[in-house]
Structures are given as structure tokens and as C-alpha cells.
Amino acid sequence: MKNRYILILWIISLWATLPAAQLPIPLAPSRPDTTFVHDVQLVDPWNWLKSRDDPALGQVLKAESRYTKAALKPARSLSKKLFKEFLSRIPKLEESAPYPYEGYLYFSRQHKKQAYPSHWRRAGSGKDELLLDENVLAKGEEFFALGFSQISPDGKTMAYSADFSGNERYQLFFKDLHSGKTKATDLQDISEFIWCRDGRHALITRVNERWQTNLCQLLDLKTFKTETLVQLEDAQFDLSLYSCRDRNYTVLLSESKNTNQAWHMDTRSPGSGFHLIAPARTGVTYYPDILAGQLYLQTDLWCPDGSIARCSLSEPGMESWTEIIPGVEGSPLSSFWLQDGCLAFIRRKEGSKVLRVYSLDTVQEISSFIPEQASDLGFWGGTLADEPYLYYSVESYLHPTRIFRYDLANGTQTLHYAYPLPKGYDPENYICTTANVTAQDGSLIPLIIIHRSDLDLSSPHPLWLEGYGAYGDIEDPFFWANRLSLLDREFIYAIAGIRGGGELGQTWYEDGKLQNKMNSFTDFIACLTYLQQKGFTTPAQTVIEGGSAGGLLMGAVTNLAPRAMRMVIASVPFVDLINTMLDDSLPLTSQEYLEWGDPHDQAAFAYMLSYSPYDNVRPADLPEMLISSGWQDTRVSYWEGLKWAQKLRQNNLGTSKVLYRLYENEGHTGSGDRRQSLKSTAETMAYVLYILSQ
């Protein structure tokens, strides 16, 4: 018996060391689950994989893990090399821009070998004071993520939240900054936290069992008792909190996909409660701020792409609003900022951000900043409202973040902070351009193209194309040092600004959602076609990538054009659209009806079924597929990618591999551990390079 047991172990260990080509392709047992929706029969052979308690699930996941490890093994040495490259670009000591607040400068530090940052402050020319070291908090934990960290108005206490599981369930802690002692509270499911100016209370929002932020409470910091101020019943709305430029005031928002309403509170006397600004009006959103007794609002009341209004705080209703910065269709307003008699705002022009500064008195333009290349602009809150200058940040695909100080008195700009360039990196050695690609219906799709300036474009090159195209979200330009490992290997990197995103305003978003969702997929395919027809690349050299709703994009594009690319990377992919949207017991499902449609409606169901990635897998010669999920993911459950992998394998007519990679201790946003995150990126990138070299 003993010898037989040893033999079995030997066989198992030998099987685990076999290359993927010699391992049997894993295919989970089929247990067809049949339902009828609107008289349409839906058969799901792998619905049972949703059951975490099913003993057979563990065997399926082990088989997946063995197969994926074997497939990735040939790229392991390259993965290690890439990891070292990534680390080489990180400064020995990173330090964030010092942020002034209540007499202190606050900043973060992270040593090159550390997984997490630490948080510090300095009073004037005094010594640096360590407030919180995330590395200490994460020690011994399989997962750690810091949520918020907020300093009390008197500077004596830090409130922070932490997630130790990866499922985005945050617990509230308080640290006495004098004694260094930390108190763990029994307050769980914390979303946001704002100190009240009275020094005794705080406002918190919390999520329910469906991960809806539905509760706002007033927390008494002496008794740790909570008082419920607002609790939502409608599952399509979420609550959020933010402080106003007049720091005495806090705004509470209740928001769905296309409608919201807001309240304000004077936190010097939080017992007075919240006061409604304007009741919800279907299809209208507004985002208020308060300064000097005046209410300023960014709203789509008059223009779908946003304008700015003003009224007295004592008469906040919509009928009192006066539009002071008119909207421009196709040029969405991103944000605005109030500062010492001026109103600054950021608006997109042809998809790129532009910053403009206006006088609050005359509502006339004082100055503007238009970046030479596509950049992400943002206001940096390092000032009090009555100071005569404002700060803004600039980041592009080729240059990391810089923060500038704009002097309102004389219009001069000075560099306040610059994130260091990676060692040996010269932005002049790279080029970033924007092409306008003609879509199926004639629309022009903005396509970002990045490559080395010395790259010979007379012949095709490996190309990595990413996309998202949902929720009106925009992937603003950002500097990603790891991208250099591709560019320096003669890759071209491209980003498709497809419909469903918000690059060109509300209409751009509307044209890629609900009954127009197919535009997102055909736009992406148009970008693929453009890049290949122009000779930048070939299908055999093309890799496409998307995550979450971008994973749905990857699934739909794979179904529509499986031979247009060599490889597909889909991270935490939302691909089981119909089954997920029919199950309103799942977190966030009902909130998604305004984005994808309500499948209980027959017309919406029919349209969603026509493109749902999981439901539309058909026999095809598939590209290489690398699918990743997080076991703790509460937004896109692990089983979506797992089920999809089974169906893809069942229908694959070619020899490509469909890999499913499960991160056991991670959620939707991956690991907060920088080194672990870099290792995962290196593994993915190395596998891409290996596949394209074959």
C-alpha cells in the first residue's frame, strides 16, 4: 500500500512538471443548466462552477493552475528579467509632493525594496514624523490594501481603513499620533470618512451586503456610537461624500448612472444634519461646491457635456441657478476649482484636456493652459481657498507627473514638484501621436499610438492595443514605466478611444451603451484594421488587452474577429453578461441596468444576448487567450472567466492555448503589494513576448 501511494505521488508530480503541450487540456465536467427567458432557451454547461462549496471545483482549479503554470514556464526566465527591468526604473527612494494641511506638510515615501509606502508629515523646518507604515500593517497578511487615511482638524488623530481580504470590505481604525497607539473599531464595510470641524464627530458612508454604498452615518468619536443620517432604498443609487473648498462644509451625493441629488452640511455643527440642495430630476446630474456663501455647481441641466452654475447657498434650488460657464457639446467639462476670486475648470477639446482660469467677479478668462501633447490635467489641492495661487498636475504618456503652481496675481507658473524620470529614460526618444480612425458608421475614433522615435515604420512591428469603452470612463494619459520594456523591444503601444467611453462627451458615451453597445466592438475592430492596413503591424503580431468591462470588449471582439489578433489578454473579464444581469442577487447587478440594459425587458434581453461574450462563443480558430480572475473579486466573480475558458476550449478549432489564471488572495483591483503587482505584470508581458517569438 505504501509503495502504491508513493507511485501515485510520483505520477502526480511528474504530471505537474510536464509542459503544457503534453498536459491534457483542462475541461471542467459539463452539468447543463437550462432556463427559459422570454421563450428563449439558455443552456449553461458550467453554471455549477459558481458554487464555491462544490468539492469538484477545487479539482477544476487545480487542473487550471497546473496547465497555466506549464504554459507560462518557457517564459519564466524572461519574466524574471523583466521584473528586474521594472525595478531598475524605480528610484531608490520615492517621495510624493508635500501636501500642506493645517500647519503641516504631508507626504509619502517608499523605498525601492518595499512593497508598500509609508506616510509622513513635517511641521515647518521640524523633523519628519512617521504617521503610518503600510509595510507594518501588511506584515503576515496574505492581502492588504489601505483605503483612506484622514487627519483630524487638530492634527492629533489619524483615521484610516484597511482591507485584509481583497473583497473591498474595509474596517475603520484610529491612531493616536502622540502615543502611537492604534484602536481597531468594530465598524466594518466603511466606504468613506470625513472629519467634522467640531472635532468630535465624523461622517462615514458604508456598503451593504450587495456592495452598494447605501448608508451615511454620523459617528460620535467619544462614544463610538453612530446615528443614521441617510439610508437609500433604491438599489440603483450610491452615496458618496466630499469636502468643499470652504472646509466647513461637506457634500453628500446620492447618484445613479444618470441622475443624482445632493445635500450639504456645516460640519461645525453636524447635529443640524444635511440640507437638500435640489431634489433629483431624472436625467440631470449636478456636483456642488461652496465658497463664501455661494453655491457653485457643475451640471448637465443645460448641456449634456456640462456647464457651471452659481446661486446663493440660502436659495439652492434649480430655479435659482444661473449658468456662468456655458456648456460646449462634444467638449465635456471634467472638473472645476474655486480659489481666491477665481474659477478654474478643465474641459476636453477634441478629447484632450485644457485648463482655463476665469475671474469669479467678471466671469472672463484670465489664463489657460493647453498641453503640447495629450495629457492628464488635474487640480492638486495643496492650498486654502483664500491663498493667491492654485496648483495643477500634468501627466502624459511620455512624462511622469509634474505639479505646477500658478500665481493668480501675476500669472506666472513655477514647477512645484516633478516625479523623477526613470534611470536612463529620455522622453525625446519616444513619440506619441493621435490618429482618427473611421468607424463603421463614419465616426472618427481617437487612437493613441506610442513608439520609439527611431522605430522604422516601413515594416510591421509587434503591437499591443488596449481598450475599455464603458461607463463614460476615459483612460486619461498616464506614464507607465513598465511600458518601456515593450517599446524598447520595438513594440508599438496603442489605446483605442472607442464609444462607450467619454473621450468626446456624453453623446460619445451614449453611442456605446445599451442598444448601441455594438459600436464599442466595431470601433475597436476598426482600430485593429487601421493599424494593420497602415502597416504598423500584422494580425500575427497583434496583442489586445482589456480588463473588467474591457474584458467584455475582449470577449466580443474575439467572437467577431478571432483571426485579427495573435493573442488576447482579459483581466477580471465581465463576459457572462446575460447570466449575471439576470441574477439581481449578485452585488451591483441592478445598478448596471442603465449601462447594459435590463434583461427582464424582452428587447433589451435580445440585444444583450446578441453580443454577450459567453453566449456567443462559436467554433473558431482562436487566438492565444490569457484570462485572469481574482478569487476575492466582488465586482466580476471568478467564475465568469472560468466558465468562459471552458467554452472557448470546447469551441477552439486551432492549436492555441486558453489559459485561466486565478489570483487566490486578490480582488478586482489586483494586489496592493507593488512587488507582487510587478511580478504579475512581468509574467504577462513575458508570456506575450514568448508567444510572439514562436
185 within some domain? no
Q: Under a CB-based contact definition with an 8 Å cutoff, are residues 36 and 42 in contact?
A: yes
Mean confidence (pLDDT) of the chain: 94
625 within some domain? yes
Query: 529 and 595: one domain?
Result: yes
449 within some domain? yes
Structure-block grid coordinates of residue 209: 451586503
Q: 378 pairs with which residues across the strands?
A: 393
Query: 462 and 486: one domain?
Result: yes
Query: 389 and 481: one domain?
Result: no
**pLDDT higher than threshold 90 for residue 245:** yes
The CATH number of the domain where 602 resides is what?
3.40.50.1820
User: Which own/partner pairs from 219-222 qualify as long-range (CB within 8 Å, at least 24 positions apart)?
Assistant: 219/187, 221/174
Query: 672 and 647: one domain?
Result: yes
104 within some domain? no
Query: 415 and 562: one domain?
Result: no
Which of 369, 399, 419 terminates a domain? The answer is: 419
211 within some domain? no
pLDDT at 277: 98
Q: CA distances (Å), 548 to each of 70, 125, 576, in order?
A: 26, 46, 11
536 within some domain? yes
Question: What letter does residue 92 receive in the DSSP assignment?
Answer: S
Name the band, by pLDDT with cuts 50, 70 and 90, for residue 590.
confident
Query: 520 and 542: one domain?
Result: yes
Which of 372, 394, 419 terminates a domain? The answer is: 419
Spatial separation of the C-alpha atoms in residues 430 and 376, rounded to whole Å:
18
Query: 679 and 561: one domain?
Result: yes
Residue 355's domain spans which residues?
330-419
Domain count for the chain? 2
Q: Dihedral of the CA atoms 90, 96, 97, 98 (nearest 10)?
A: -150
> Residues 486-512: pLDDT tens digits?
999 999 999 999 999 999 999 999 999
**pLDDT higher than threshold 50 for residue 69:** yes
pLDDT at 11: 37
- Of residues 384, 521, 528, the one with CA closest to residue 463: 528
Query: 344 and 451: one domain?
Result: no
Structure-block grid coordinates of residue 537: 503591424
pTM greater than the 0.85 cutoff: yes
- Of residues 476, 432, 474, the one with CA closest to residue 453: 432
Query: 675 and 530: one domain?
Result: yes
Parallel, antiparallel, or unpaired for β 128-133 and 145-151? unpaired
pLDDT at 8: 32
**pLDDT higher than threshold 70 for residue 15:** no
Query: 413 and 446: one domain?
Result: no
Spatial separation of the C-alpha atoms in residues 586 and 592, rounded to whole Å:
11
- Of residues 586, 562, 576, 635, the one with CA closest to residue 611: 576
| H helix or E strand, kind and range, residue 49 | none
Which of 419, 452, 486 terminates a domain? The answer is: 419
Query: 399 and 527: one domain?
Result: no
158 within some domain? no
Query: 444 and 358: one domain?
Result: no
> Residues 134-189: pLDDT tens digits?
999 999 999 999 999 999 999 999 999 999 999 999 999 999 999 999 999 999 99
193 within some domain? no
Side chain identity at residue 220, one-letter code: D
